[in-house]
Amino acid sequence: MNRREFLKVTGAAGATLAASGAQAEPPKKDDTEFVGVLVDTTRCIGCRSCESACSQQHGLPVPDIENDGALEAKRNTSERQRTVVNRYETDEGPVFVKKQCMHCWQPACAAACLTNAMYKTRSGPVIWRQGKCMGCRYCMISCPFDIPKFEYDRWNPRIEKCDLCAERIAQGKKPACVAACPTDALMFGMKRDLIEVARVRVYNHPKRYVRKIYGEHEVGGTGWLYLSAVPFEQLGFPTHLGTTPYPEFTRDFLYGVPVVLFGLPALLLGLNLLAERKKQEA
C-alpha cells in the first residue's frame, strides 16, 4: 500500500467513524459502507432552502429563493448551481423534486475519467479533483443523468456538480442541503439503513407511495434514493436506464485490449514469416 492509498483509507475510516458515531475499533479497509440521501418527495414543500444552503456552502451565487419565481419553469443544474428543485403538476397535486448528482455505486463519470479527477470515494461521494482534471468533458458524455456541468466561459474551467459535501461529511456533519431542509424530506445516513427506512415507509403507507425506490437498482444503484406518490416518469426521472452499472458497458472492450496486445503482434509476425518464406520459394 503506498502513501496515497494509506491516506485515503485513514481519511475514509475517520469519516465513517465520525459519521456513524461511536465504534469499537477502526473499520478494516473493506468494511466502509456508502452513505446516501433519501429524498421523500411527498414531504418536500418546494421551499428551496436546500438550493440556498448548497450555494452558500460552495461559494456559488445564492439564488433568491423567495422572489425569483424559478419554479415556474423546469431547470437543470448548471455550472453555477449544483442542485435545483423543480415543480411537477401531477394528479396528486404539485410534486417538488430535488435534482443533483446521484452518486452512483459504480459511476460512469469516474470510469470515464482518464485522470481520476472524477473519483468515487470510499465512503460514497463522487468528487471532482481539480488538480487532475484536463477538461476533456468525457465525464459529461458518459453520465446517464447528464449531471456534470462545465464552465465554458472561463479560461480555467471547472466541472461543477454535487459532491455530497464530502468535506462536511468528513467532519461528521450532514450535507448542507440535508441540514437545511425544514421538513425532513432529506434524510442522510448509511445507504443500507436508508433502503430499510424507505421500504418501511412504502409498506406502511401503500396508498401514499408508489411501490418503488428510485435509485435502488437504477444503473446498479445510486447514493441518492427517491420516494414518490406518482410514477417516476411523471417527475422527469429517466426510467429506461436499466440496472446495469454503466462502467460495465466498457468492461468487455477494456478486458479485450490485453488480448489483442498479446495476440495480434504474434499473429502479424507469423503472417510475415510465412510471407517471407513464400517469397523465398518463388
Binding site for another protein (CB under 8 A): 76, 78-79, 108, 110-117, 131-138, 140-142, 144, 146, 149-157, 238, 240-241, 246-247, 249-250, 252-254, 257, 260-261, 264-265, 268-269, 271-272, 275-276, 278-279
Residue 56 CA to residue 108 CA, distance in Å, equals 28
Q: Which residues pair with 227 in a beta bridge?
A: 40
Q: Which is nearer to another protein, 43 or 75 (CB)?
A: 75
Residue 82 CA to residue 100 CA, distance in Å, equals 6
In angstroms, give the least distance from the CB of 261 to another protein.
6
Q: Which is nearer to another protein, 57 or 239 (CB)?
A: 239
* Residue 271: its H or E element: helix 248-281
Q: Which is nearer to another protein, 68 or 276 (CB)?
A: 276
Find all residues with CB under 8 Å of 59, minimum gap 6, and list them: none
In angstroms, give the least distance from the CB of 145 to another protein.
9
Q: Which is nearer to another protein, 149 or 174 (CB)?
A: 149
Q: Which cell goes with 127? A: 468528487
In angstroms, give the least distance from the CB of 126 to another protein.
13
Buried b (16+ CB within 10 A) or exposed e, 188-211: bbbbeebbebbeebbeeeeeebbe
In angstroms, give the least distance from the CB of 265 to another protein.
5
